[in-house]
Amino acid sequence: MESHVRGGTRWKRFAVVMVPSVAATAAIGVALAQGALAASFSVSGQQFKVTAKTLHGYGFEQYGSVDAPSGKGPVPVVVSAFTDADITGMCQSVVVPAPFIGDVTVKLTAGNDGKVVKAHNLYIDLDQLDADATFTDINIGVATGALSDGPGVEPSVKDNYPGNFAQEAKEAYLTDVKQTAWATSAGTFKLSGVSLRLHKGSGPGVECY
């Protein structure tokens, strides 16, 4: 397992690796339900889907980077980072191919029924995003090495590509968020009203979207 240093702090990285086994997936689900949620969520060589009814973030930064999912070559991503974020109606889903059974979708939801998911030093490595967005004090076209509003740029990006295009804002308010991501990590991630379920099959109506 690898560790990333983000914002000058080394967070213990606990990679959630989805293997083609329903038993292993169920064990992960039990750990999540008991509150053993890692500071990072990644799926070995796979994208996963994330939706949110609202995401209100403070200290927003966005810039290009490259991920290296297990079993795949380099994958270009856009990193959306927030110093702090409040999220409602959150859903994360990943499809696990299970021998003899077919696709099984692992779906985690939180922040419903008036509850709020809170994240600190949140990073989302994504390659697709659809949402309605409002930004406050946005700065478009700032160099990666000059970003100052958010939690800090990944050292590999800041050191190797300090002049790359980036943007930042004091606040970002996104609604009806749909995205596909390769990794999500946070210094702290408080899930209120968390629910994790296994569903047979995949696609719309089973996954988050």
**pLDDT band at 46, cuts 50/70/90?**
confident
**pLDDT band at 66, cuts 50/70/90?**
confident
The bridge status of strand 117-136 relative to strand 139-143 is unpaired
Domain ranges, ordered by start, for the chain: 5-200
| CA 119 to mean position of chain CA atoms | 11
Mean pLDDT of all residues in 32-52: 65
Give residue-wise pLDDT tens across range 159-200. 777 888 899 999 999 999 999 999 888 888 888 898 989 999
Single pTM value for the model: 0.78
* Lowest pLDDT segment from 31-40, 100-109, 146-155: 31-40
Token digits of residue 186: 């946070």
